[in-house]
Structure 1
Amino acid sequence: MELNDSKHIRNIGIFAHVDAGKTTTTEQILYHSGRIRSLGSVDAGTAQTDFLEVERSRGISVRAAATRFSWQGATINLVDTPGHVDFLSEVERSLRVMDGAVLIISAVEGVQAQTEVIWHALRERSIPTLIYVNKMDRIGADPLGTLQQIRRLLSPQAAPVQAPFGVEDSFGGAVSLLGEEAGDSEETKAYLQLLEETVAERESLLLLHYLDCGALPKEELKQMLLSLTREGELFPVLFGASNRGIGIEPLMQAMVTLLPPPSTVTDGPVSGVVFRIERDPAMGRIAYVRLYSGVIRNRDSVRNESQQIEEKVTQIRKIDGQKAEDVGLLAAGDIAAVCGWNQARIGDIIGCAKYVPGETRLAVPLLTVQVRWNNEAEYPAVVAALHELADEDPLLDLQWLQEQRELHLKVMGPIQIEVLTHVLHNRYGLKAEFGEPSVIYKETPAQTGEGFIAYTMPKPCWAILRFHIEPGERGSGITFRSIVRPERLLERYQNEVARSVPEALQQGLFGWEVTDLKVTLVEGEHHVWHTHPLDFAVAAPMGIMDGLSRIGVKLLEPMLSFRLSVPEETGGKLMNELILMRGEFDSPVVRQERMEIEGMLPVATSLAFPARFGSLTKGRGVLSTFFAGYRECPPDVKAERVRRGVNPLDQSRYILSVRKALAGT
């Protein structure tokens, strides 16, 4: 392939709620494209893209897996992402490097919680998306009902490009609505009408033609379908049964023809992003890179902009599940695994940042767990192993309290804890246990006020700072600015303060991260002889904590928005449960002997609710939950966590600690 031949490349992610059939669909695609000779099975643990031992034993995907196949002259980089909410961070990282997406929805379960989360993220990034309705052969499959639900809950611009024939045991595939063989059955006509109406609504001249003639010319319909899909303004819906291989080739055809090639800058500077890290027994750390501009070759020294370092490429590999080949070159628009970058981390910008899209934040770990080890001699190995795993998933945010000999991780949920236990045992031969998960709270200023610090003793040092601190809007994070004139406080010292403030706010009065506030540096002073730049890195946390101790803080707790549907007779019992959990909800809506309730729940009170929900509804309820941000806790809720290091409020001890003069430091 020529360097500038990116029009023959597709970078496509496969997304879905857990158990909708992503990995089975990927397996069938690899088989039909000739990439693998025999089909693997998720249930038997032989799927090509489930290569971790825990994935094979559990039958779920926990890591995004990159594979590659060719179809009708195009090369497709396909990323099979996990569907379980506990591994949303893998989905988040994959979204950043995709040019197109296939969203798989079960024809039986329909649109589920994770489906909606992923859909909103795809729309936020305007990623062209195909919707594939799978499991058409299962009992309870309802193609028209699923299509209506997709149009109601996801987008009215979702339109069928196929009409299925048969359903459940009699499902025999789907016929294209764009070909002459579509037929004229009443059901096919209904699907075609939906497609034509959706396309016609996007263009006034077409709409007039449709209203006059009652139909659209096939060629114009095809042309509009292609351009609207690639622009992310229309979402073609296809039907299939992946476990039987039905509907796979039409889906592959749609991936090649309807989803766009990458937009690239071939003659620009190197610009790319690391979206995944793996470890290879022979090659060490492997960085998966999506390149947007330029070319990287074996033995090139490439700048890591995020870390301000240069590292040499030892090998560039194209990865197919567990197989890899050294290709020696990565060109703009493509994805490959780069060996030799031992310092690379997930999210690092390679070369320049100019052409790299921003991040989408989906995964917010709401729980923290403490790691315990059985054998004291294994303590250093457990620390090293968790550091390595946190490199692969930065959201684990390993906190190592050396003084207390404690390790804490942030996690998304219980399945992730189970997987971490598995990985520690299988990869590192370590037996570790995890404590009960506890909720991650945050803090925010209770009112407006000031913090002050005059760090002038013991000499040599001199840093005087005054901060104005005020509450910000919920969800606004941290805003910092300085109104101090450079002649009072040199710009390089002000930069040191700006860098130190977010670090100082990692732990507030109760040990939680402080957020949703505005910090303004209103006064600053340095000394010509006595000041060292690091004095301001020492002084800033003391000034910030002084301010927080004066004005006080409020606790914030994570909230979930929920939607549930239960048989009408169990609705009263469910509402009592929701009230006991401090839930808030709108008036229930009754539809066809089922009660639907929407509202908000604190994470802290509802940790065990999903497990109890099944028994409360005798398995007939449907529950969807989404992270809905942080909200102020009621006054009676108290939560404190152990502080890492010395509290800057204890100024004498804190200064000795950062100067390494405290006993034991």
Structure 2
Amino acid sequence: MEICRFICVRSNQGLFPWGHVNRKLNASCRRWIQTKLPDKSLGDHHNFPKHVHKSDDLSLIRNIGIMAHIDAGKTTTTERMLFYSGFTRHLGDVDDGDTVMDYMEQERARGITITSAAITFTWKHHKINLIDTPGHVDFTFEVERSLRAIDGAVTILDASAGVEAQTLTVWRQADRYDVPRIIYLNKMDKPGASLDLCLMSIMEKLKVTPLLLQLPVGSEKHFQGIIDLVTMETCIWSKGNMGDGTEFKLSPIVQSADSSVWEKCIKARTSLIGQLADMDDGIADLVLKDVAVENIPVSDLLSALKRVTLARKGVPVLLGSSLKNKGVQHLLDGVNHYLPCPSDRHYPFAELYGEDLCALAFKITHEKQRGALIFLRLYSGSLKTGSSIYNVTRKTSEKVTRLLQVYADMHKDINHIHAGNIVCVTGLKQTVTGDLLTSSHTSYKKAVESYGKQNIDNLPGRSAESSSHDDQGDEEHEDNHFFSAQLTVPDPVFFCSIEPPSMAFQKDLDIALENLQREDNSLHVSVDKDTGQTILAGMGELHMEVIKERILKEYGIEVEMGPLQVAYKETITESSEVTERLDKTLGDRHHFVSMTLSVHPNQTGQDFKAVELRHSRENNLEAIRHHHLQAVNSGIKMGLCAGPILSFPVCGLGVYLHSLEIQPGTSMAMISACASQAVHKAVHSAAAVLLEPTMHLEITTDEDYLHFVMSDLAQRRSHIQGVEAREQVRVVKAITPLSEMMGYSTVLRSITSGTAFFSMELAQYEVMSLSEQNKVLQKLTGFLPS
């Protein structure tokens, strides 16, 4: 404690930089100093900003996300943004574990982002709500739900690698939500950094037109700055002020100063304007009027670039080196200039609510003191502390107890928030990720009426099965799920059993798993009906490892996890038709159902959505009531949850309903039970086979170790798709069964002396050969198939 008192005195005298102090203190010392210095924040080196823009001007708000492949520099770039905006006084470093955005203990220990973190800061009078997302494939759902809350995104590329595997994944996710993007080529100082390589990979892999707005000054370790083709200025960063990037020199490019630089810039600017002329009428008019390339106004270029970006006709490309503190200020300018404000994006469902509240719950976390923290994106209206709101998805009313402005893992109480912002609320007990919230049930009814019943099938979140067979008697059901986040939740690929150290901890474990599952939709918890074991299913080895650590750190339960197993699926190879009859009397009520179903292989491999009706003169399927059809669909889904081989889910099939007879008074549960039995029997007689998950694998290795890598892949049933030469390294692309990738990181380090690294993402489920299927059966059941 004497040391702590000394630090307090010295810090007040300005003799200790907080970033260096932070890493020298344990938790108890930090808490003690915090009580003595309430205006200091040792954990994150920042105070809450007092200059955050509070006006209702939506044009000055940016809701953005940072997304990229793992190790491309997302968190490092975000830390520089916070520093240059004045939010922090210390440049956080991922390697040192003192970043603001990676605040979880597991993140700082591993040096990776695990959960998306939100923060608010200002840059040149603009309020920026930023979400830093993970790059690891195991946590891709964090990117998915963050994309529903943002208006624009910054995609970061490693300048020495170009577009990598996970970059493609997050890019496709952003495409699903029509998110406008800009690209930031990071690590321009890295050996092997190539502007041409990156531009080529953007065109070939992302299938978009890159609009190069900057040229590098120097290359690789000699990278000094950038040439801005929009403003025709050179920006060179100095090494003064400890090299934190705050000092740089801007110089206008003039022909008389350096003719070679002038010609290079004019050539690049001409190419840029030519691209814009093909995409934007405003620039095309200037070109047709023969306005000289160097005389086209900066304001016209900025406006045209924003229009092109919002229309997703092209993607602005900026350069920099975040670790070396170069280019981030211009990236922030690009966020303000080119990415949309909330009013630039078109959200049809929000427009139905007019001035009433319309908000989307896109993320949930839990804290011991505050309970569940619900992250909301407000599309319209406003929200106040103590407000009562209506959950459209859950059809229930709840009350907001507190409004919190989010600063990574820290929060500041506020009283009011308006449309276009991101906020955290407490007090909502039933709301989960993807729920839509409004002011009241009356507001929701008004939104429905404003759209009109004739267009109800076009509303977001409307499922195919519910829109195909509506009737007037089911109006309440029609009003149930108009809107949802429509998040694509990936199927788990690994599962294992999880047990508490003793039965005394079972209830605490159930609570922990319930909270974690509410936070993370990609985490699945179930109970095996045969053994009674709790089964945990997730997206990968790292995902499951992090969940185990969180249960220990946050809930104090040292759980035991069984060996990881691959989550297979099952499908059918033949068609089959069955007739099932259920005739029972329970009490004084008689239940009778008879139906004929058939199952057929479906080449799409997708999960079952809804039964298809096969009309004929003999049946009367057109008279089926909507709630009866819903019961049939529900029963079929239950029947497909467990296949005949190893009780894995059944997919890749279509189900046809040929006849249905229901006696009046029969309950919906009996109809579902009959449908479940029918489809179960049909699948049993349709020659079922196992499907295994396969992964897109990308390995980067030195050429000296390429032979060892290829030999190892051959033993793992890999299909080599190609080997690319990238400067001094080789990139191997392959499709490999997930079951062969268990512990692969350790093997790869061993055979390449720790010089190679890899990334992978789910490719598809493929039919297993009979021999491999028999191996799985023997492994999981202990018996050889007959």
With the shorter chain as reference, the TM-score category is 0.7 to 0.9
Q: Distance in 1 between matches of 2:777 and 2:383?
A: 49
Counterpart in the other structure of 1:11: 63
**2:499 equivalent to 1:372:** yes
Kept in 1, the 8 Å contact 2:280–2:308? The answer is no
User: Does 1:410 find its partner at 2:410?
Assistant: no
Whether 2:580 is the aligned partner of 1:477: answer no
Provide the secondary structure at the position in 1 that maps to 2:364: strand
> Is the CA contact (8 Å cut-off) linking 1:472 and 1:518 kept in structure 2?
yes
Distance 1:210 1:477, change over 3 A: farther
**2:655 equivalent to 1:519:** yes
Q: Specify whether residues 411 and 97 from structure 1 end up closer, same or farther in structure 2 by C-alpha distance, changes over 3 A only.
A: same
Amino acid at match of 2:358: S
Deviates more, 1:449-458 or 1:581-590: 581-590
Q: 1:20 and 2:98 equivalent?
A: no
Question: Does structure 2 conserve the Cα–Cα contact (< 8 Å) formed by 1:51 and 1:321?
Answer: yes
**Distance between the aligned counterparts of 1:344 and 1:383, measured in 2?**
19
Residue 211 of structure 2: which of 159, 172, 179 is its match? 159
Contact 2:137 / 2:760 at 8 angstroms: preserved in 1?
Answer: no
- Matched with 2:332 is 252
C-alpha displacement of 1:172 = 2.7
Query: More deviation in 19-28 or 9-18?
Result: 19-28
* TM alignment of 1:506-655, pairs within 5 A: 506-509=641-644, 510-529=646-665, 531-564=666-699, 573-586=708-721, 598-617=733-752, 623-638=758-773, 639=776
Deviations 1:401-429 (A, max 9, x none): 36623122222222222211221111001
Residue by residue over 1:379-412, the C-alpha shift from the partner in whole angstroms, topping out at 9 and shown as x without a partner, is 2322221121111112111112366231222222
What amino acid is the match of 1:26? T
Match 1:223 to one of 276, 300, 303:
303
Give the deviation of 1:259 after TM superposition: 0.5
Match status 1:343 vs 2:426: no
Aligned mates of 2:727, 2:223 — CA distance in 1: 27
Tell me if 1:454 matches 2:506.
Answer: no
Name which of 354, 360, 372 aligns with 1:267: 354
State the partner residue of 2:85: 33
Q: CA deviation at 1:431?
A: 0.6
Cα deviation, residue 432, structure 1: 1.5
Residue 143 of structure 2, aligned match among 88, 91, 108: 91
Which protein is richer in helix relative to its size?
Answer: 2
Structure 2 match to 1:126? 178
Output the CA distance in 2 between the equivalents of 1:236 and 1:81.
Answer: 21
**Aligned: 1:466 with 2:602:** no
- Give the drift of 1:286: 1.5
Q: Which amino acid aligns with 1:310?
A: S
**What is the alpha-carbon distance in structure 2 between the residues aligned to residue 485 and residue 342 of structure 1?**
45
Structure 2 residue identity aligned to 1:481: E
User: Pick from 176, 186, 202: which aligns with 1:150?
Assistant: 202
Which range moved further: 83-92 or 488-497?
488-497
Q: Do 1:305 and 1:350's aligned partners in 2 also have CA atoms closer than 8 Å?
A: yes
Residue by residue over 1:185-229, the C-alpha shift from the partner in whole angstroms, topping out at 9 and shown as x without a partner, is 165456435533433443588499499899464324333222112
Q: Assess if the C-alpha contact under 8 Å between 1:200 and 1:210 holds in 2.
A: no
Q: Deviations over 1:210-260 (max 9, x none)?
A: 998994643243332221122222212222222343222211111111101
Alpha-carbon distance between aligned partners in 1 of 2:426 and 2:727, rounded to the nearest angstrom = 58
Instruction: Identify the residue that residue 409 of structure 2 maps to in structure 1.
Output: 322
2:721·2:735 contact (CA, 8 Å) conserved in 1? no
What residue ranges of structure 1 are gaps of 5+ in the alignment?
A: 644-665
- Give the deviation of 1:81 after TM superposition: 0.6
Specify the code of the residue in structure 2 equivalent to 1:39.
L
Which TM-score applies when normalising by structure 1?
Answer: 0.87
Q: Tell me how far apart the structure 2 counterparts of residues 83 and 335 of structure 1 sit (CA, whole Å).
A: 22
Residue number in structure 2 paired with 1:198: 275
- Runs of at least 5 residues in structure 2 that lack an aligned partner in the other structure: 1-52, 235-252, 254-259, 439-443, 448-458, 461-482, 781-786
Deviation at 1:104, TM superposition (A): 1.4
Secondary structure in 2 aligned to 1:346? coil
* Residues 496-536 of structure 1: per-residue CA shift (max 9 Å, x gap): 2223322332222121111122112222222235x222212
Give SS of 2:333's match: helix
Higher mean C-alpha displacement, 236-245 vs 205-214 = 205-214
> CA offset at residue 154 of structure 1?
2.9
Note closer, same or farther for the CA distance 1:428–1:360 as it changes in structure 2 (3 Å cut). Answer: closer
Query: Which stretch of structure 1 is more off in the superposition, 182-191 or 290-299?
Result: 182-191
Work out the CA distance in 2 between the residues paired with 1:621 and 1:190.
39
1:601-639: CA deviations, max 9, x gaps? 222223344543444455565645332221221122334
How far residue 156 of structure 1 moved from its aligned partner, in angstroms, is: 5.0
For residues 382 and 239 of structure 1, the distance between their equivalents in structure 2, rounded to whole angstroms, comes to 47
Question: 1:104-137 CA deviation, whole Å, 9 max, x = no partner?
Answer: 1223443322122112222343321121122234
**Aligned position for 1:115:** 167
2: CA distance, partners of 1:559 / 1:190? 46
- TM-score (norm. length: structure 2): 0.75
2:349 maps to 1:232: no
Cα deviation for residue 362 of structure 1 reads 7.2
Matching residue within 360, 368, 387 for 1:281: 368
8 Å CA contact 1:467–1:519 kept in 2: the answer is yes
CA distance in 2, matches of 1:453, 1:116: 46
Which residue identity is paired with 1:196? I
CA distance in 1, matches of 2:208, 2:419: 35
Q: How many residues align?
A: 642
Between 1:298-307 and 1:333-342, the stretch displaced more is 298-307
Please state how far the C-alpha of 1:165 moved relative to its aligned partner: 1.7
**Sequence identity of aligned pairs in percent?**
29
Distance 1:119 1:63 in 2: 18
RMSD: 3.3
Mapped contact 2:182–2:316 kept (Cα < 8 A): yes
Report if aligned partners of 2:137, 2:761 keep a CA contact under 8 Å in 1.
no
5 Å-filtered alignment, 1:5-84, equals 5-84=57-136
Local SS of the residue matching 2:233: helix
1:463-487 alpha-carbon deviations (Å, 9 max, x no partner): 3232222122223321423456479
**Residue number in structure 1 paired with 2:244:** none
- CA–CA distance in structure 1, aligned partners of residues 290 and 594 of structure 2: 77
- CA–CA distance in structure 2, aligned partners of residues 294 and 580 of structure 1: 59
CA distance in 2, matches of 1:123, 1:21: 22
- For the residues of structure 2 that align with 1:23 and 1:598, how far apart are their CA atoms? 27
Deviation at 1:85, TM superposition (A): 1.4
Contact in 2 for aligned 1:496/1:537 (Cα 8 Å) = yes
Moved more, 213-222 or 33-42: 213-222
Whole-angstrom distance in 1 between the partners of 2:568 and 2:771 = 14
